[in-house]
Amino acid sequence: MSGSAMLEVKNISFSINQNRLFQNLSFNLSKGQAIHVKGSNGSGKSSLLRILLGISSASKGEVIWDEEIGKVFLGHKNVLKNHLSVADNLHLHGLDVAHPEVRSILKDLNLDQKAELLVGNLSYGQQKKLALVRIFLNQSSVIILDEPCVGLDDQTRRLITTFLTTELGKNKSIIYTSHIPLELPSSEVIIGIL
């Protein structure tokens, strides 16, 4: 692995039921770099992220992470418990609504008055915002996001862009998919035909 690379992807291919989604895909991720994975619906973007995270395996090829790298991931599913309150969901992720940083982020996301509400009573957009709280408070070196802006208002999309830009300035790295444009300086990895 080259000196500044946190991740090397070498000639990976992936198929589902003999349907080849991508083949011989190679790229590197360096410190302080953002990569925007682009492709049409069904091209394999989410599958690629799962392979990078070790959740799925490539049909062939290699994914090599720097051993010291911590990663945080937010996918399509928000990983929330609908039968629990906002506060209880945050507690499951080791976050306390009384902590000043958590309170500040909840306020920025207009969730500060919703701590005792059941997550199942929140709108889709509010649930997405709640899932983002742990991303905003991450201590990882790499942030991986699958369509982070779906269901969100313009103000929250701007908040995400500002946050991610700040994280890049801290030498963190980002890999994301998004059909909604993010004003983020990014390299592109294109899968299939756009």
Judge whether residue 141 has pLDDT over 80. yes
| pLDDT reported for residue 19 | 84
- Rounded to 5°, the CA angle 45-49-50 comes to 115
Judge whether residue 177 has pLDDT over 70. yes
Q: What is the average per-residue pLDDT within 121-138?
A: 95
Judge whether residue 57 has pLDDT over 60. yes
Question: Mean pLDDT for the chain?
Answer: 93
State phi, psi for 96 to the nearest 5 degrees. Answer: -115, 125
Judge whether residue 154 has pLDDT over 60. yes
* pTM (2 d.p.): 0.93
Judge whether residue 16 has pLDDT over 90. no
Judge whether residue 68 has pLDDT over 90. no
Q: Where are the domains of the chain?
A: 5-70+140-190, 86-128
Q: What's the maximum distance between 2 C-alpha atoms anywhere in the chain?
A: 51
| pLDDT reported for residue 194 | 55
| pLDDT reported for residue 1 | 54
> In what side-by-side order are the strands of the sheet with 19-30?
19-30, 5-16, 60-65
Judge whether residue 149 has pLDDT over 90. yes
Distance CA 158, CA 139 (A): 21
Superfamily holding 5-70+140-190:
P-loop containing nucleotide triphosphate hydrolases (3.40.50.300)
| pLDDT reported for residue 178 | 93
